[in-house]
A and B are shown apart, each in its own frame.
Chain A
């Protein structure tokens, strides 16, 4: 590894080092503020280093990593998400009496794992990144140690993630057995992936099982609502965004490098998963009254929409995926942000009924939440609309009519439960005992909450009204994935 490699890899080295340093730091100082500032500082530094690293791209750093515009874009997205989650967590943890420092070590590690996935170009880095991410998440999910639901969720995630990882490993082994390589680029070139043999396609689909679990797509989705409900709201936000986004980045790279669309078995497998996710995810959310569970189901459906773009393939599809993920990140972080900032010590603000009539007592918070919901529903002038528009355009370009029809049907079902929340927010305040005190009395967003949510809302509207800059960035980065 020479100095150029080192510079290219800096954005990954910094968070890795930072987690070790923070681990040492908290043995000396238990100050919450120091941990938060250190975490934010190191993430920000890593983010800035992306521009330094961008000078030498594209560059293979050992067979394990590829630092190109594509991975830099997604790593950047992951760092931003990490920063947002850290800000959210600082408030969330600050109000609760629990050990705090270790949380940020785990958050840094999880972000590192996700970034490794985004830059991974080898089965080894794929698996290593996935495990760094998963192991950090086991603990983060169960971070509220004296909360039964949290412990239950952590344990469930541990067992199921371990099981799915074994599927993934077995799939990798089968592919290696057939092709003799674990390097994506070697697999891609020289016709290493021959005509489909049963063993090879079985291997590919077993990898799909492992990936599908992380993406929480049907039928590997069953854990999602329980884990979201049990995890602290900022951690749930992290699972919904970074964990899925990183896997998706890797999936896209893997798919386009090996041109997997040409194998009917893989194609139909993914198409089936996409269709099932769009339908079942939305249907499950219909009568749900727990906001975190609604968002869990919603994320299942959104991953289904994204898979439609993967099926389409091509440059438009890559732009679509990049745009959709950026929009989805902003929206999900905003939605979970509202929940996190409204959550008190007695439990997270996840009960829908508690929000009834909140728009009248705190219009701004409700307005932010409505903006997030409308974006999730894909209403024009929000980022979600442009994202969905691109996905549909990519799908229509590849004539994927059945997935598109399901996408439209799923979005329609989705409207019901998103608007249901909006209706509750603007609903009539129940009269009677306690007068009109609703909408989390005594809870204030505070400076951090107010600024963070305002920034996210503006990002959302900005992307929805003026998408050109991001599209230009995407065309310069994500769309140039395959030479």
Chain B
């Protein structure tokens, strides 16, 4: 069974190739069968592999499949090899599982759109690349997957390319993530030149031996990797692209910009955690970036009117939690939140998509309302998603993962009360903005009329994701539950073979209970406040917002803390200005000169091709003379 590992990404690529080559000739139903089917088979295969991995793990809890050797030049031998271990099993399960549901949803959602088969071709290419990213056993192959998903993200954000704004959003996403990718590439060069290998496991061992803890090189390499992770995962200061990425079709936002691709940074840090552990300052930076991002994005999510933008800021904020967990060394907690987040955020996006589709492409929550009765299934599933996002205690998956993160941040040796406080404040904001969305969209008076009901291909993914958004957390219980006899730690135990556990100092029971109570009070308080502000007395929010301070703050938050403006002033405008002023710059002159010289030389040399045999023979004679001249001279 394990030997079939290579089939999993290959299937998706196969789907891509078929759709790219023959897509035009296929009917929409056939294109959907190819697009959805390949991912579906992959998902089944992954499930079988995962079951086999759990029941009879391979020796060393890892299985490496070397497919072939790419090239071999003077010690540089990158193999194309895949690695199956606990970490990649979890990632694959989410990618293919959630991916399959979203593909299924898209089959109905995208029906009738121009470029239906093109859409599935890109989506399949994305799934294939994402699988390569998580399966890669060396950094070069990982980088290939990394760039592949970046390309698909670009293509899919700009899927409706006739609108120039979508093209701009796609370019923005590509350019901003490119900043991070460049750092990542430099990190690869650094690792290869100093450690002599790109094999991840080998490089990690070498890093410990060659660099040692807290050495300059380890810090530099980890910081550069962090640069790549920050770009891909839309964290401070490169988070600006994600809200604009919502220009793409909603299933794309669900799959790429919520569930999978944007968490690639989290995966990268977890995969290279040995290196990060050698660089404590970078670890601190990861935690601080995570904490700052989750707060800033939380505030921004609070003021958005576009439902997809609100969800986008929420995604940034939730990935902030994952970074916070990584920063304190709680690797498996980050992965746990990645998993639950994939379920409930995909659910929220798909629910939002259903709403948008039935309201004639209306994104503005101000023009929604009262959809509770018109779209009951969408409402209930969305409510489950929002509850899970708000980490509603005990019954939702989000509770278990967020609680694990906050618990770890509070007890880890590298954690601190400040970070914990930021996380708790973020939890309050999360429930506030989540239920703001719920109340604005589904409660109150109806402002629009929904046209029709979503079909079965939309309903099934919603229900399945809602189910997982509720129960997926049960595999890992909070440590407090142990007192009640519920000592379940399946998730962290499973990952322990790949990711080491956290070094934590246990807290007194009273402190733990106290902290737990604070968290729960704030989370429920957030929901209550949302109810007060947006449903019970909508006037209050308006009054606060109309004060000068309120207005300024609101504008600041809505624009994502003005990062776009700052970047525009400091980077974009100067750059464009220089480019414009320097249109015919001196640097170009040599190149223009070269072209000119090339054409001149071409014209001159063309004259030697006269077609005359005597001239050609003279050429041979001349050549012989020159060669003999060399003999005489040397």
A residues contacting B by CB (< 8 A) are 155-156, 159-160, 163-164, 167, 198, 201-202, 205-206, 208-209, 212-213, 218-223, 225-226, 264-265, 268-269, 272, 280, 283-284, 286-287, 386, 389-390, 393, 397, 413, 416, 465-468, 471
Contact = CB atoms under 8 A, between A and B. Distances in A.
B634 interface: yes
Contact of A219 (B71, B602, B623): B623
B631 A201 contact: yes
B620 interface: yes
Contacts of A468: 68-69, 71-72
A269 B629 CA distance: 10
Contacts of B619: 219-222
A283 B605 contact: yes
B581 interface: no
Interface stretch (B118-126, B159-167, B606-614): B606-614
A209 B598 contact: no
Given A164-B620, A198-B632, A286-B602, A209 B613 contact: no
B73 interface: yes
B624 interface: yes
Nearest to A416: B598
7 contacts: A160-B616, A220-B619, A222-B609, A268-B630, A287-B606, A393-B73, A466-B70
Given A272-B630, A280-B605, A389 B73 contact: yes
Interface in B36-95: 68-74
Contact of B631 (A205, A220, A223, A471): A205
B622 interface: yes
B73 A222 contact: no
Contacts, number: 97
B602 A265 contact: no
A206 B624 contact: yes
A218 B609 CA distance: 12
A149 B442 CA distance: 81
A163 B621 CA distance: 9
Interface string B313-340: 0000000000000000000000000000
B606 to A, nearest CB: 7
Given A202-B628, A265-B631, A284-B605, A160 B617 contact: yes
Contacts of B601: 283
Contact of B634 (A164, A225, A268, A280): A268
B578 interface: no
Given A209-B620, A284-B606, A160 B613 contact: yes
B626 interface: yes
Contact of B68 (A159, A218, A416, A466): A466
Nearest to A201: B631
Interface in B580-618: 598-599, 601-603, 605-606, 608-609, 611, 613, 615-617
Given A265-B631, A284-B609, A466-B68, 15 more contacts: A155-B613, A163-B617, A202-B631, A209-B623, A209-B627, A219-B622, A219-B626, A221-B619, A264-B634, A268-B630, A283-B605, A284-B605, A284-B606, A286-B598, A471-B72
B609 A198 contact: no
Given A159-B617, A225-B609, A468-B69, A212 B623 contact: yes
A409 B255 CA distance: 44
A167 B624 contact: yes
Contacts of B623: 209, 212, 218-220
A212 B624 CA distance: 10
Contacts of B72: 468, 471
B598 A219 contact: no
Contacts of B624: 167, 205-206, 209
A471 B551 CA distance: 69
A482 to B, nearest CB: 20
A223 B616 contact: yes
B622 A413 contact: no
Given A265-B631, A269-B627, A468-B72, A287 B620 contact: no
B616 A222 contact: yes
A465 B69 CA distance: 10
A286 B599 contact: yes
Interface residues of B, number: 33
Contacts of A389: 71, 73
A154 to B, nearest CB: 12
Nearest to B623: A219
B599 A287 contact: yes
A167 B623 CA distance: 11
Contact of B602 (A208, A287, A393): A287
Given A202-B631, A205-B628, A212-B623, A413 B598 contact: yes
A386 B628 contact: no
Contacts of B613: 155-156, 159-160
B623 to A, nearest CB: 4
A198 B634 CA distance: 10
Nearest to A268: B630
A164 B627 CA distance: 14
Given A283-B601, A393-B74, A205 B627 contact: yes
A223 B623 CA distance: 14
B9 to A, nearest CB: 16
B80 to A, nearest CB: 9
Interface in B529-581: none
A393 B599 CA distance: 30
A174 to B, nearest CB: 11
A226 B70 CA distance: 41
Contacts of B73: 389-390, 393
A167 B605 contact: no
Contacts of A167: 620, 624
A163 B615 CA distance: 13
Contacts of B74: 393, 397
B21 to A, nearest CB: 9
B602 A269 contact: no
Interface centre among B74, B605, B611 (most CB of A within 10 A): B605
Contacts of A397: 74
Contacts of B598: 283, 286, 413, 416
Contacts of A223: 616
Contacts of A386: 71
Nearest to A208: B627
Contacts of A413: 598
Nearest to B67: A466
A334 B564 CA distance: 51
Contacts of A206: 624, 627-628
Contacts of B622: 219
Nearest to A205: B627
A163 B620 contact: yes
A269 B624 CA distance: 10
Contacts of A286: 598-599, 602
A272 B627 CA distance: 9
Contacts of A222: 608-609, 615-616, 619
Contacts of A467: 71
A272 B628 CA distance: 13
A467 B73 CA distance: 12
